[in-house]
Amino acid sequence: MLAVPLGSTEQHGPHLPLDTDTRIARALTDGLAARVAGVLAAPALAYGASGEHAGFPGTLSLGSRVLALALVELTRSADATASGVVFVNGHGGNASALREAVTLLRSEGRRVLAWAPRSALAARVGVPSGDTDLHAGRVETSLMLHLASDLVRLDRAVAGPSPTLAELVRRGVRPLSPSGVLGDPSGASPAEGALIFHAYVDDLVAAVLRWDETRRDENRREETR
Ligand SMILES: [Zn+2]
């Protein structure tokens, strides 16, 4: 089984690097491969759909249409030799392309799973997040302090507004937050990042094992037919 980290190259406020989402997705994928036998970690796709971050230096977006096509072609090319493809998504803006690609790939009979962290997981380990922590806020800052603290410029961190997801999609980040931050990084820490990271990996591992179990059931049914 192949696990592919999906990231982005986009502004993450004044305090986090452009490849924040890619690093997080890669680390989660490595965590999955370390825990589930037979999972191979592919190199990360470091570009995604980041149209909502246009107008900030450093943002490089493929757009949803191209990303969806790329995910379809990557899966088709892996399909001959892999028993399935798991996309580990580190960037919310990739979600619609991922949904579109997975729908098409499944209609072709291919084994593909999309996983992304849910904000409820951070809340479960006591980190206030949810809809108020959309981008470069406390969750991502804690995760990066855990994974690559030397790349976090905590002295430059500032709080931004907390728009609804619908408002973010409609208007883009630029008119809402000059700093690029949506949420509040204050309170972030490496220890908190470790808690969130392990909650994410646990959830990812559970999702892949559940999915793999359905594949085994299908194979068994095929064999007894
Ligand atoms: Zn991010």
Can you list the domains of the chain with their CATH numbers? 2-224 (3.40.50.10310)
Six token digits for residue 104:
């098409």
Q: How far is the CA of 194 from the centre of ligand 1 (A)?
A: 17
Q: How far is the CA of 218 from the centre of ligand 1 (A)?
A: 36
Is residue 128 pLDDT above 90, yes or no? no
Q: What are phi and psi of 158, to 5 degrees?
A: -130, 155
Q: How far is the CA of 108 from the centre of ligand 1 (A)?
A: 31
Between 32-36, 44-48, 118-122, the lowest mean confidence (pLDDT) is in 118-122
Tell me if residue 35 falls in helix, strand or coil.
helix
Q: How far is the CA of 201 from the centre of ligand 1 (A)?
A: 17
User: What local confidence, expressed as pLDDT, does residue 18 receive?
Assistant: 98
Distance CA 135, CA 92 (A): 9
pLDDT in tens, 136-187: 999 999 999 999 999 999 999 999 999 988 899 899 999 999 999 999 999 9
Q: How far apart are the first and last CA of the chain?
A: 25
Max alpha carbon distance in the chain (Å)?
64
Sign of CA dihedral 208, 193, 50, 41: negative
Q: How far is the CA of 222 from the centre of ligand 1 (A)?
A: 42
Confidence of residue 42 (pLDDT cuts 50, 70, 90): very high
Is residue 129 pLDDT above 70, yes or no? no
Is residue 222 pLDDT above 80, yes or no? no
Looking at the DSSP bridge assignments, the partners of residue 182 are 135
Average pLDDT, the chain: 94
Q: How far is the CA of 223 from the centre of ligand 1 (A)?
A: 44
User: What local confidence, expressed as pLDDT, does residue 225 receive?
Assistant: 67
Looking at the DSSP bridge assignments, the partners of residue 48 are 61
Give the global pTM.
0.95
User: What local confidence, expressed as pLDDT, does residue 194 receive?
Assistant: 97
Between 35-44, 127-136, 149-158, the lowest mean confidence (pLDDT) is in 127-136
Ion ligand 1 nearby residues (CB, 5 A): 20-21
Q: How far is the CA of 182 from the centre of ligand 1 (A)?
A: 10
Q: What are phi and psi of 190, to 5 degrees?
A: -60, -40
Q: How far is the CA of 10 from the centre of ligand 1 (A)?
A: 8
Distance CA 148, CA 22 (A): 12
